[in-house]
Structure 1
Amino acid sequence: MKPWILGLTGGIGSGKSAAARHFSDLGVYVVDADQAARWVVEPGRPALAEIAGHFGREILLADGSLDRAALRRRVFLSEEERRWLERLLHPLIRQEILASLKQASSPYAILESPLLVETDQHTMTQRILVVDVPESLQLERAMQRDQADRKQVEAIIKTQASREERLRHADDVLVNDRDLSWLQAEVERLHRFYLTLRGGQP
């Protein structure tokens, strides 16, 4: 039987990736949308040539790969440039994700994506799990993890869906305001529940 797809999302610093890792340890097939996004701009892929043509060669590193930091700076400054980039990349990322999900053989598979709600990626899923965390904790964790300053993290949070928006899409919510062992226990509880579902519905 074809596995049903669980969308897993959460804002920066929410612990979404730690949750995905534990689901994976439990034998669930996980597709990471961020990885798909990195793959579509690898050297030799058509998207990279288009990006360099649009933004100029200075968007590339010496080895010909994408200078992500430079690209991030450019698109954060301009809504128009961000839209252009999204129009180019979102369909390619979607194809990549669908191809990866086709390889799943676990009873259900996970699409882990920070932009599940903001893009049409949620339409590929039958159920959505949101890893939720209070914004103060989110800021603190993301600053610590990425050695980033408060301003940078706040700018990233602004580009993501609001907490309310994400929670409105959620079928399940995992509040991750404690430690890692609590998070893992919650993942195991949800996993047992998900194994009882057909097509993502009770």
Structure 2
Amino acid sequence: MSQKPFVIGLTGNIASGKSVIRNYLANFGAYTIDADLTARDSYLPGTPAYQSILDYFGEDLCLADGQINRSKLGRIVFSDPEKLKKLEEIVHPYVHEAISEQIENCDRPILVIEAIKLLESQVVSLCDQVWTAAADKQVRFERLVENRGHSESLAWTKINSQAPQEEKIARSDTVIWTDNSFEETFQQTMEAIRRLGLPLVRQIDQNSLHLRSILESQFSCACDLMSAGTNQEWTCDRIYHVMAAKLTPVLIYKEEVIQVQRLSTRQNLVMLTHQTPIKTEQASNHEILPMLEAWLQGAYSLFVISRELLPSKDAWQCDFLPGEDIPEEITQSTYVSFLKENGLMPGEVWVKKISNN
């Protein structure tokens, strides 16, 4: 068994920038877990928590496809602290078990658990450090209204229903303030990892080719490639913004950035959404895709690519399968939901199971 990863528990109040920090850490090569998604997955049909929730909250929570109506469940527990406590009592043991197993099997040097209720749960006992994402209350209010479409009254209700963020800050090893630019948040995150002596770069080498986490010193070259390849103006600020939501490794040939990748993720699922430029003179898909798969290895289990990016001949030669043929261990509803988030359906993608070896 490989050495246990350094486990960072990442918390913060609503709209404080937790996911931005988690995604920056993923770009550095960290294995990341969204505990909220882990909790949702714990009550999919067929899981132990599924029937327990229906037994307590009522069978009318069940949608036509057998899924639990999460919106309805959310409304029930949001207005009733006792029912929220009951839901947590049902779900949290399964979340703790799932996260413990992932830590045990992780061979990445850093593992990050994003959890809004980290300090209130047993998951905190699994962490080597606690980090808090923090932002001024007015900034968080504006994010909820402008970015998530909340009404002003709902935004303030959600903010004021939580304990003050100062309570989390007081129990944290590191605090990252996200009030200002994405660049400042990125640099605080990078400095926090540097202080711990942990790696900021994941790199795969293949002769003269290198696939690696993008460095700030490479942003300018990446912007030139993106501007030329998309007919849009790309700035360094935009790179920081993209990295807050996507994986953005770069392909290097003899110290020169020749291609920028952009990938969407959801827990152990990852999708290549853009390659800029789509083709390079220095490397073919047969060389690039195995390197990208190796870069993803150890943190993701299913690699998805749009058929628009990968011709059929290349897909078969690189051992990809049609998007309808997913491995049994991948939950169908989660997979389809991930595709829909990216504007695609199973018939429009290729898939490949990522080996852990």
TM (norm. structure 2) is 0.52
Within-5 A mapping of 1:1-202: 1-195=3-197
Q: Answer whether contact 1:31 1:101 (CA < 8 A) is retained.
A: no
Q: Which has the larger radius of gyration?
A: 2
- Following superposition, the deviation at residue 108 of structure 1 comes to 2.6
- Following superposition, the deviation at residue 180 of structure 1 comes to 1.3
Q: 150-159 or 80-89, which moves further after superposition?
A: 150-159
- Following superposition, the deviation at residue 15 of structure 1 comes to 0.9
Q: Answer whether contact 1:118 1:161 (CA < 8 A) is retained.
A: no
Query: 2:309 maps to what in 1?
Result: none
Q: CA separation of 1:152/1:103 partners in 2, compared to 1, >3 Å: closer, same or farther?
A: farther
Aligned residues: 197
Report the secondary structure of 2:99's partner residue: helix
AA of the residue aligned to 2:130: I
- Following superposition, the deviation at residue 159 of structure 1 comes to 4.5
Identity percentage of aligned residues: 28
Residues 47-77 of structure 1: CA deviation (Å, up to 9, x unaligned) = 1111112222221222111111100111122
AA of the residue aligned to 2:107: S
Query: Gapped runs of 5+ residues in structure 1?
Result: 198-202
- Following superposition, the deviation at residue 167 of structure 1 comes to 0.7
Distance 1:97 1:166 in 2: 21
Q: Answer whether contact 1:117 1:161 (CA < 8 A) is retained.
A: no
Q: CA separation of 1:95/1:154 partners in 2, compared to 1, >3 Å: closer, same or farther?
A: farther
- Following superposition, the deviation at residue 146 of structure 1 comes to 1.7
Report the secondary structure of 1:192's partner residue: helix
Report the secondary structure of 2:105's partner residue: coil
Structure number with higher helix proportion: 1
Distance 1:158 1:121 in 2: 25
Q: Answer whether contact 2:5 2:103 (CA < 8 A) is retained.
A: no
- Following superposition, the deviation at residue 196 of structure 1 comes to 5.1
Higher RCO, 1 or 2 (CA under 8 Å, sep at least 6)?
Answer: 1
Distance 1:132 1:45 in 2: 34
Query: Gapped runs of 5+ residues in structure 2?
Result: 200-357
TM (norm. structure 1) is 0.90
- Following superposition, the deviation at residue 188 of structure 1 comes to 1.5
- Following superposition, the deviation at residue 157 of structure 1 comes to 2.9
Report the secondary structure of 2:13's partner residue: coil
